[in-house]
Chain A
Amino acid sequence: MTLALVLIPAAAALACFVIRYDALRRALLVATALAHLAMTAASWMKRPAPALGGWLAVDAGGLVFLSITSVLFLASALYALGYLKREPHGERKDFEEGVLFTNAPEAVFTGCLLFFLATMTLVTISQHFGLLWVAVEATTLASAPLIYFHRHDRSLEATWKYLLLCSVGIALALLGNFFLTVAASAPGSGPIPLVVADLMAQAGKLNVPWLKAAFVLLLIGYGTKMGLAPMHTWLPDAHSESPSLVSALLSGALLNCAFLGILRIQQVCSAAGIEAFGREAFIAFGLVSMAVAAVFIIAQTDFKRMLAYSSVEHMGILSLGVGLGGDGIFGAVFHAVNHSLTKGMLFLVAGNLLTVYATKSTARVRGILQLVPASGVLWVAGFLSITGAPPFGTFVSEFIILKAAFDKGYTAVAVTYLLLLSTIFAGMAAIVIRMAQGKAPEDQGPSRAEPLLALVPAAALGAFVLMLGLYLPPFLGRTLHEAAIMLGGS
């Protein structure tokens, strides 16, 4: 079954390239998403047996990230049904610059979407560092054609930056893997396999200087993919230029997968007793990412870019949480869940706004609540959740991280964190509330009927985050704690 989690989406992806009917491919997309979610749910009941000699296994940390990916993918797949129906084949005009462009063939889009799911799943269940690396690289390759779905020059630029930066990052991560191999070639006892469990069991034999070097390279390599500042420069472009449902997946699922890669090496480092080594790097990357995001959110004129920078901010929060250790790690894992669901919801709603207003300019979108009330409510709710307002789950997880900072005596860090959070709250509020309120432009016409498929996935994700703020189901809490302890927290 562990193997099936990867193979079923991969097989469906291949089938998409062969199938000639759009309707059949779309049905296959949703069916695969449902099957994937069902298998993920089954893994919650009973952890499936490891496969490939322990290289593939579902542990608590992997399960959390796998579930996020699965839930978000189902929401995106349902959204895709309506989205693809609205996307005409053939040439059409780009609404920003008026250049003509065509979309990539739908078979490529659906196929890559499924392949993307397969590769992200592989990341979450890989226990071997080499395999993990291959999987992370494969996510880049599967998602590049998705970003280039609208074939015009801006999306091309975004795809180019994405491919080049992430490939360089991944090359560094590979070097990190080789360093790890050196660290694991203990003299006398022979090499230790690069499987997480083996490395942790024999952590005492690891060569510490090489392990530290490996940690740094993996942090920078996977950190590029995760969007930590200052390696985040591809992120705003890719997230703003790709179709909204792809942005939702990139932001909500892919960034987490890269984060898991970093967590794995931190796990080994803490087993080797050098977790303090990474701590300051995590805190520094966290605060820098939040600060960079704050600066660019305040003056943002493009609402999808605003959401992209908000992802940079939240990756910073995750990094900060891990750096604080203890409860902070629990907070970070919980925050990853909340952020993914919220950001998925916001990007899907942003897609609705894009359809209605045909612009990404924050200045030209006015009166959402009046024109498309349901999307408007979701947009404002999403804003409240993403900025950590109660009673959403994001509030709880951000608060846990804050508390961890005070508990551990990092007062300056806690104060900076609070300051940055409130700056971002104010900056986003100015943009989002102005978009929601007011009168819609005259040429937009009267308020419109909104298709259910464009609303339900986003609303479901939102409801989920709201529930997590009010009530954390015990089974979920247990697994989150187990994941946090596995990563050296409490």
Chain B
Amino acid sequence: MNTWFDTITLLLILSNLALLGSSQLGFCIKVVAVQGIALGLLPILFGSAEWSVHAIVLATSALALKGVVFPWLLFKALRAADVRRETEPFVGYVLSIIFGVVALAVVLCMRSRLALPVSADLRLMVAIAFFTILVGFFLIVTRKKALTQVLGYLVLENGVYAFGTTISSEQPWLVEMGVLLDVFVAVFIMGIMIFHISREFDHIDTHRLARLSDWNQGETEESNP
């Protein structure tokens, strides 16, 4: 069981760093898919003592949604929008990775201070879950493309999911299903939105979606090439 946890923890860390450092949208979608599959396996690994129906249903639905349905929807949106790479994010890729490493260090330092009702193994997983949440936030804030923002949101949601499955084995499964369902519909709607954005403007650059603002009426004009 320990090797499994180590593998998943390592996968989460590496995938987050890969997301921070890559400009290829297609690659990023694949990384998020891998992350989703790793997380989907989590509930089964915990329940190894008792293979409950709850754990299996949760794991299969998480695997199907996070590993297959979301990436498929996002690839569809990517094709519809016809862009392959993210150009010029607000924060460069090298700086992003440095942020990632610093965040990882901070989270690992915090790990020992958390008063959690879980074992030391799981405490590491909780710390990595927080790391994933931070990376998700960072992606949403610093990337321009609507698609990468959706990816960031998924990473954020993955982090929350990892935290939830790690600490709360008593949570009624209805709530967990609700989580998955909501994420599913959110991504579904966001996929449609990306499609519309690309059709409306021939681009999916949210930075240019800045007409409705009380602050920078002049600024948007000059940033449009």
Contacts and interface: CB of A to CB of B under 8 A. Distances in A.
A11 interface: no
Given A156-B197, A160-B209, A237-B212, A181 B168 contact: yes
A191 B172 CA distance: 11
Contacts, number: 108
Contacts of B212: 154, 157-158, 161, 236-237, 240-241
B175 A144 contact: no
Contacts of A141: 182, 185-186, 189
A137 interface: yes
A134 interface: yes
Given A158-B212, A171-B157, A209-B115, A134 B182 contact: yes
Interface residues of B, number: 40
B179 A174 contact: yes
Contacts of A175: 133, 160, 163
A305 B193 CA distance: 23
Given A134-B182, A181-B171, A191-B170, A156 B193 contact: yes
Contacts of A168: 137, 140, 153, 156
Interface centre among B168, B171, B185 (most CB of A within 10 A): B168
A296 to B, nearest CB: 5
B149 interface: yes
Nearest to B157: A171
B117 interface: yes
A151 B182 contact: no
Contact of B149 (A145, A164, A174, A296): A164
Q: What does DSSP make chain A's interface, helix, strand, loop or mixed?
A: helix
Interface string B16-41: 00000000000000000000000000
A148 B211 CA distance: 16
Nearest to A135: B178
B164 interface: yes
A396 B186 CA distance: 41
Given A133-B175, A157-B210, A175-B133, 18 more contacts: A131-B178, A134-B182, A148-B196, A151-B196, A154-B212, A156-B193, A160-B193, A164-B149, A164-B190, A168-B156, A174-B179, A175-B160, A181-B168, A182-B167, A185-B170, A210-B115, A240-B212, A305-B214
Interface of A: 130-131, 133-134, 137-138, 140-141, 144-145, 148, 151-154, 156-161, 163-164, 167-168, 170-171, 174-175, 177-178, 181-182, 185, 187, 191, 207, 209-210, 236-237, 240-241, 296, 299-300, 305
The 3 closest A-B pairs by CB, nearest first: A130-B175, A134-B178, A237-B212
24 contacts: A130-B174, A130-B178, A133-B175, A133-B178, A134-B179, A134-B181, A140-B186, A141-B182, A145-B189, A148-B196, A153-B211, A161-B209, A161-B212, A163-B193, A164-B140, A164-B149, A164-B190, A168-B140, A168-B156, A171-B157, A174-B179, A236-B212, A237-B212, A241-B212
